[in-house]
Structure 1
Amino acid sequence: MRKAQRLVFFLVMSVVKVAYAEEAGTSKHTTGIVSYADVLQWLSALLVVLMLFGFIVWLLRKSGSLSFAGKSQLSVISGLSVGVREKLVLVKVGEKQLLLGVTPSRIDKLLELEGDARLFQNQEDEEVGGLFAQKLQQALQGKSNV
């Protein structure tokens, strides 16, 4: 990744150096009329910048630094407000589910569910809200009894 960053840095610096050298050489041009050559130069500079941008995006994709939401293993399954600013949030992380307590100042992991203990596996049988409440109540009672 360091090599890709260095390469991008040198490419950007060389483009800036070339642009600065061209501007220093054309500083004597004082007419107020935009010529065809000026427009062609602007368009070619724009094309170079767009090509450089595309090359950087391609490098980031190849290096794996650029990820998209489709590959995410993290999702929020459900949430339940338990106060004005407090919530219980059920989050899926890979094959596990985490029950998180969320307040304005912190986030606490309350429960970790794996395998058959996971919630919302049989959503067809019961209502989603009722299932969540039942499973949460069972999990909290089971944890307090131990």
Structure 2
Amino acid sequence: MLTARHFVFMLAMSAAGLASADEAVSAKPATAIISYADVVQWLLALLLVLGLFGTLIWLLRKSGSLSFAGRSQLSVISGLSVGVREKLVLVKVGDKQLLLGVTPGRIDKLLELEGDARLFQDQETPQVNGLFAQKLQQALRGNPNV
């Protein structure tokens, strides 16, 4: 038994169906054609982004460690080449000094110095000659008197 409510509902649904069918017939199908120029443009953009990324990585590696906090707790005090590919490196780590043996495949801790046994105690900061070098050292240490 069809009631008035059912009749109105069916009439509304059929009207909506006809309207959507008319829109589907009148709308042209969208064609997504990718041209050769689009592919070349995407490849060039990709190469540009990868080139910028590679350049940034290269610059960061070349600049070494950037110390934004003023004084670093880790620094190389001295180094000595003992062979073609072997070195002795004296490193300051906090209040300690470590003598490291560095080879291409390995780094060994040879000696740990603390307190009065540390080397170069009077030269905590390297001695610099010239006004520009002194100003640069002060700026790197974070002194406001630059």
User: Which TM bucket (shorter chain)?
Assistant: 0.3 to 0.5
Greater Rg over alpha carbons, structure: 2
The structure whose residues are more often helix, as a share, is 1
Q: TM-score, normalised by structure 1?
A: 0.37
Q: Which fold has the larger relative contact order, with Cα–Cα distance below 8 Å and residues 6 or more apart in sequence?
A: 2
Q: TM-score, with normalisation over the residues of structure 2? A: 0.37
